[in-house]
Structure 1
Amino acid sequence: MMNIFRILGDSLHALALILLIAKLWRTKSCAGLSGKTQILSAIIYTTRYADLLSPNHYHSYYVSSMKIAFIAVSCLTVYLIYGPYKKTYDRENDDFYNEFLIVPCFVLSLFSANYMSPLEIMWTFSIFLEAVAILPQLDLLCHVKFVDSYTVCYLLSLGLYRALYILNWAYRYYYEGDYDLIAVGSGFLQTALFSLVFVRIYMLKRREDSVMISVVT
């Protein structure tokens, strides 16, 4: 069921993707973005919304359109990073091995899915993978000394979206008695990892301010 926390969360999620595309389009650069995290995002949306191809897909036109949009934007982002803007891609520092995340998440989904069906396994896999997909981006942030405003706003929107979804789950449990242990547990882990991202961004901005003050004085 829809509630204010889910609506705000979904809005921030959409805003994050808009900011991501805006950064790439306005700056003509993917500096500060982890291509590895964007690859994981494309895998997440593709596997989670694989039900679009199912004959039993009953979602509204709006929901189906949003699913297609998320898949399209994530794939477009990967294409731009490794295609037209590859000269600005920080390949040297974006060296996280995605296999260390994909393989364990897939194996775990085989044992944790509520139903042993391909769509259910893919959905569970996408939930687990989304929880840790920010790790390559966090690793990249730990190697760089500067992060632009577009990237900061993109990551903040994405992190707040996950935080609001925790409130959404609390609301649904209190008023509807409904919860999904896999989604809730993964959501808390993802929010914790995003808090580390925010700490790193704060440290980078403090360093930038210190450098600017030193230059002025």
Structure 2
Amino acid sequence: MRGTKRPIHAVTTWFRRQPPKMKVFVAVLSGMVALLFLRMVVHDHDKLFVFAEAVHAIGIAVLIYKLTQEKTCAGISLKSQELTAMFLAVRLYCSFVMEYDIHTFLDFATLGTTAWVIYMIRFKLKATYMDEKDNFAIYYVVIPCALLSFAIHPSTSHHIFNRICWAFCVYLEAVSVVPQLRVMQNTKIVEPFTAHYVFALGVSRFFSCAHWIIQVLDTRGRVLTVLGYGLWPSMVLLSEIVQTFILADFCYYYVQSVLGGQLVLRLPSGVV
């Protein structure tokens, strides 16, 4: 086991010592290698969406376990959960009126569990809620997302209100995890279950982002025309990439902590 840890430790030590530009280059190169690997291994690229949803479900299960067994919501951002419920509710509405399918059921199930988490934090476990740490003003993301959805939205044949709602939930999903990252930035110490949950979100976002990028490459960009014209298709892809990069830094420190055998994740200054 020590023989395995030594090369990993050497790589992580080398990476930490590199300047920011080199770290970005290595991160982008690693992402490209991972995308190439998925493209070769996963022949039905739609399965990447299934993987993303499965990992997300695992993350929610970890969160539910923390709330029910540990009897604490310390380290969990109520505002992130509220933003998640908001974009899921809007997306569920869009699913009903625009494209009723299996994802409608999955969104309904996710919204239900998210609403339960919000209830537990607000009422059952209120005494353990870190209100002073969860200090991100959500209107900083809700208002810009709303304005952006009015300016850039799908150019499909659906009613304009539905198209704006669709755009709003896409943009809001991309930044819904920001309050959770702020809580972890304020505390600097992340207990295991919260870290597992956020890492699951990061992996889920990567699979979802990989699906879109691979689809664009395989169809030489034609898949984007299915979503409409103008800036909207590019904004969908950009939103997926933004979600992935927002969580990338945290995921790096999470993996480093796990490989180092640490149960509690300690974040250095400047992370997230």
Question: Is the 1:146–1:208 Cα contact (8 Å) retained in structure 2?
Answer: no
Percent of aligned pairs with the same amino acid: 25
| Aligned residue in 2 for 1:25 | 68
Structure 2 unaligned residues grouped into runs of 5+: 1-43, 225-232, 267-272
SS of the equivalent of 1:166 reads helix
Contact 1:146 1:204 in 2 (8 A): no
Displacement of 1:175 in angstroms is 3.0
Q: Highest relative contact order (Cα 8 Å, sep 6+), 1 or 2?
A: 1
**TM-score relative to the length of structure 1:** 0.85
Aligned counterpart in structure 2 of residue 193 of structure 1, from 236, 246, 261? 246
Choose from 129, 140, 143 the match for 1:103: 143
The aligned counterpart of 1:168 is: 211
Q: 1:153/1:209 Cα in 2 relative to 1: closer, same or farther (>3 Å)?
A: closer
> What CA distance in whole angstroms lies between the structure 1 residues aligned with 2:63 and 2:88?
16
Amino acid at match of 1:152: A
Q: Deviations over 1:157-207 (max 9, x none)?
A: 110111111210122123343133222101111111102333565798889
Question: Counterpart of 2:120?
Answer: 80
1:148-187 alignment, distance < 5 Å: 148-176=191-219, 177-179=222-224, 180-187=233-240
Letter of the aligned partner of 2:146 in structure 1? F
Q: Is the 8 A contact 1:141 1:200 kept in 2?
A: no
How far apart are the structure 2 equivalents of 1:164 and 1:131? Answer: 14
Task: Establish whether residue 11 from structure 1 lines up as the match of residue 64 from structure 2.
Answer: no
Evaluate the alpha carbon distance shift between residue 32 and residue 209 of structure 1 in structure 2; reply closer, same or farther with a 3 A threshold. closer
Evaluate the alpha carbon distance shift between residue 185 and residue 82 of structure 1 in structure 2; reply closer, same or farther with a 3 A threshold: same
Instruction: Please give the per-residue CA displacement for 1:39-94, whole angstroms capped at 9, x wherever unaligned.
Output: 1001010011113553x6542xx433212101111111111111111111000111
Given that residues 147 and 204 in structure 1 are in contact (C-alpha distance below 8 angstroms), is that contact kept between their aligned partners in structure 2?
no
- CA shift, 1:141, in A, is 0.6
Change (3 A) 1:198 1:118: same
Distance in 2 between residues matched to 1:166 and 1:51, nearest whole Å: 21
Aligned residues: 208
* SS of equivalent residue, structure 1 residue 82: helix
Partner of 2:186: 143
Counterpart for residue 131 of structure 2? 91
Cα distance in 1 for partners of 2:176, 2:161 equals 21
Residue 215 of structure 1 corresponds to which residue in structure 2? none
TM-score by length of 2: 0.69
Aligned counterparts of 1:109 and 1:132: Cα–Cα separation in 2: 14
2:254/2:265 contact within 8 Å kept: no
Contact kept in structure 2, 1:9 and 1:161, CA below 8 Å: yes
SS in 2 for 1:142: helix
Pairwise CA distance, 1:145: 4.0
What's the Cα RMSD here?
Answer: 2.6
Judged with a 3 Å threshold, the aligned counterparts in structure 2 of structure 1 residues 210 and 50 are, in CA distance, closer, same or farther, namely closer
Q: Which amino acid aligns with 1:20?
A: L
2:188 and 2:174 mapped to 1: Cα distance? Answer: 25
Describe the shift of the 1:44–1:132 C-alpha distance in structure 2 as closer, same or farther (beyond 3 A). Answer: same
Higher Cα radius of gyration? 2
Deviation sequence 1:126-178 (CA, Å, 0-9, x none): 11111111111111111114322111111111101111112101221233431
Q: Unaligned regions of 5+ residues in structure 1, if any?
A: 212-217
The 1:5–1:27 alpha-carbon spacing in structure 2 relative to 1, beyond 3 Å, is same
Q: Distance in 2 between matches of 1:5 and 1:203?
A: 25
